[in-house]
Structure 1
């Protein structure tokens, strides 16, 4: 039998007990430490990572009340909270055992023991210690991510009435614990809004956990969100907490919730209703304290009508519904956003670029921005990288024409087709009105009238 990689510390004033315990356990675990002096416990805990401490309850002749054992139990839990403590005594007492477990012991062993029983208890203690250590590591990583998250906060940018209305509502509901559903096309800033709501809430010093349900494999949904215990499925080698537990005290952001299949929607609904999760392979429910923010670019109300999304789940997640406008409906924010990204990206790439030319601004204002804010950042970043002048010009901007070309193939409405042709011409000539008008067979004045007509 291969020994398990684990460190066991045995503490007892009886050297015979130490010898017996060492002989019993050394064939199962690779490192056994013994001491007959409990005052050395602290040194051992700081010198090495101890998985389990087997701790005697009594150390002075004539004193068999277990108080010394409880004292050292408290000391161990303070110095090394992840270490499992198993108490030993020859004087079994139910009341003492209950008190020891209340104070943090995981189990209680009576002397003399059977080797199989001792191994079973210690092995369970090793697994418990590893699970606690794993959880602590995850929480430490998440704490660091949370600190970085605060440092890297993006600002919500926009002076348009539609954006100001969305911002006002976001700040109004942020201090509450209301569930929020953020609706908007891809790239409209749903993540940034969810993050800002979290930072403006009383939960701001706790985790913000982002879960992209759109990219999450169906088979991993429960294990990722709710966690699992060792042996719950093939490959589950240790207890692992899920995203809901990891978000303890903070916010969980369920992005692209419209992509969640119906059979998984019911599982999520149960968790939201009961505010409890059950890890895979475990029957015990664990209460959760999280704020839930969801988002989707899907027409979720239409999906409810088509029975593709549960109405009762929608009721649960949209106590407050926040709609983010696409960039084409807030054109006054385009240059504002472009300037913001230019400032950010010139610093990142150590470029000295003062701004955009007049023609470049006109081209950006005339573009339809199917990718919204994400696209404007991408286009500005590319321009910053390739530009060698002090101002970005139309030749540095590369817009996508795929959406317009696809629309021209399928759209038979004359008004819409005219609008799409004008947009395509403007993109082709980087916002140059004279060249676009000539390409369309129009005068400049006629093109200006159509620009006004179509609100381009």
Structure 2
């Protein structure tokens, strides 16, 4: 049960909102002024503030600033009318979680209340991320120091890695690009009895067929043009350690045949050589392709697949590890702030919300690149929404405006469209071209809808 502070000088409003809060099993506190609200906030453990912008003496914006100074982790939802545009803009600049237009819809209030409290929980979990990381690394997963994550999906991966590490069988790691397959391969090696021996990796997709064969098996002097001396291959270099074959699904059929023989016979020859060498390394392979589909299309050998797939580990995409996103963000902020020599204290709640709402098709690699970019670009001591790529901001804009079910479908759709347009105009300060781009509609279409909803009379500044 959360404690929610409701602020409005109209008792009818605070009573109505308090009734909805109570109906959702939360504890409401009410205040009629910013001063009274701030006093309650300081003496109570408040999880969410819902305040009118127009209050006697001090405004809702003043209260928002005071709340943010004491505890930036507490989300604030402001209530405003369409006519008070400047106040709404200022509230969003100062980090208001969201806004409600009067008269307040009960269903909309419930939806945004739930979202705000989820955000509060997320921020609280994020507050001591560095301590949590240290605990996880030192107490729970001492042998997985390079891997960040505490979600249930990753707990299952850790458990499987520990069991797999004790065996000597080949391992096939499956997962989308950017999910950390190499880190898992290295963790298997580190936790095995081969940890004091070489961990050798090769990206099979990065090399042409002839070069890949030479890199894997080595070559003799004179085996081909420019082969001026004998060169050991990765199998030879790995010795009794671990050989990690990344992007195994990309290798050519001729190399697949030779790799199959190595796995079956545990022996190989260098290119251009006759001496048979023993293969002692443990093989870990990884791919982001669907190998069964590759087999069906005759692009990957079925017998090689079964040789490699003795044990498989499926890595979850980042969109299924939502609770790990704040932890990864904190890790990358600490990493790149140090590397780039910038004093970044934190990430704003609005920016964190933006990143958590994004689906991350590029997974952890995309998140890491996004944080590095933000640290390079930011001029402040914290990362804000404007420091993030525009496509991530746009995805968040669309995700944050959920429509609600009502009997009048047409009215509901118009209300939803009206709020999307209004929010876009607020965030672009009335720049029609930028707002149209944010909404992914034509400028003329936006102009028409602004006339339809009587928005042309407002000054979005």
User: What's the offset of the Cα at 1:234?
Assistant: 1.3
In 1, the alpha carbon distance for the partners of 2:361 and 2:400 equals 21
In 2, the alpha carbon distance for the partners of 1:336 and 1:283 equals 53
Matches within 5 A, 1:105-184: 155-184=146-175
In 1, the alpha carbon distance for the partners of 2:282 and 2:259 equals 14
Counterpart contact for 1:209–1:253, Cα < 8 Å: yes
Aligned to 1:199: 190
- Structure 1 residues 217 and 154 mapped into 2: Cα distance closer, same or farther (>3 Å)? farther
Matches within 5 A, 1:241-390: 241-390=232-381
Structure with larger Rg:
1
In 2, the alpha carbon distance for the partners of 1:193 and 1:260 equals 21
Aligned to 2:417: 441
- Structure 1 residues 359 and 286 mapped into 2: Cα distance closer, same or farther (>3 Å)? same
Quick one: which of 170, 179, 184 aligns to 1:188? 179
CA deviation string 1:360-400 (max 9, x = no partner) = 11100111111100010000011111212221111111154
Of 188-197 and 305-314, the range deviating more from structure 2? 305-314
SS at match of 2:331: helix
In 2, the alpha carbon distance for the partners of 1:369 and 1:247 equals 35
CA deviation string 1:123-165 (max 9, x = no partner) = xxxxxxxxxxxxxxxxxxxxxxxxxxxxxx8621112221211
In 1, the alpha carbon distance for the partners of 2:414 and 2:200 equals 53
Of 158-167 and 173-182, the range deviating more from structure 2? 158-167
Aligned to 1:20: none
Matches within 5 A, 1:23-42: none
Aligned to 1:226: 217
Structure with bigger RCO (C-alpha 8 Å, 6+ apart): 2
Normalised to the residue count of structure 2, the TM-score between the two structures is 0.55
Normalised to the residue count of structure 1, the TM-score between the two structures is 0.56
Q: What's the RMSD between the two structures over aligned residues?
A: 2.5
Aligned to 1:69: none
Counterpart contact for 1:229–1:282, Cα < 8 Å: yes
In 1, the alpha carbon distance for the partners of 2:195 and 2:387 equals 40
User: What's the offset of the Cα at 1:221?
Assistant: 2.1
Q: Gapped runs of 5+ residues in structure 2?
A: 1-143, 404-412, 424-461
In 2, the alpha carbon distance for the partners of 1:254 and 1:349 equals 32
In 1, the alpha carbon distance for the partners of 2:418 and 2:302 equals 51
SS at match of 1:441: helix
Aligned to 2:89: none
Quick one: which of 204, 210, 224 aligns to 1:213? 204
Counterpart contact for 1:257–1:295, Cα < 8 Å: yes
In 2, the alpha carbon distance for the partners of 1:302 and 1:225 equals 25
- Structure 1 residues 426 and 287 mapped into 2: Cα distance closer, same or farther (>3 Å)? closer
Of 169-178 and 288-297, the range deviating more from structure 2? 169-178
User: What's the offset of the Cα at 1:271?
Assistant: 1.0
In 2, the alpha carbon distance for the partners of 1:442 and 1:181 equals 50
Aligned length: 269
SS at match of 2:274: coil
1:395 aligned onto 2:401: no
Counterpart contact for 2:401–2:416, Cα < 8 Å: no
Q: Gapped runs of 5+ residues in structure 1?
A: 1-152, 402-423, 448-456
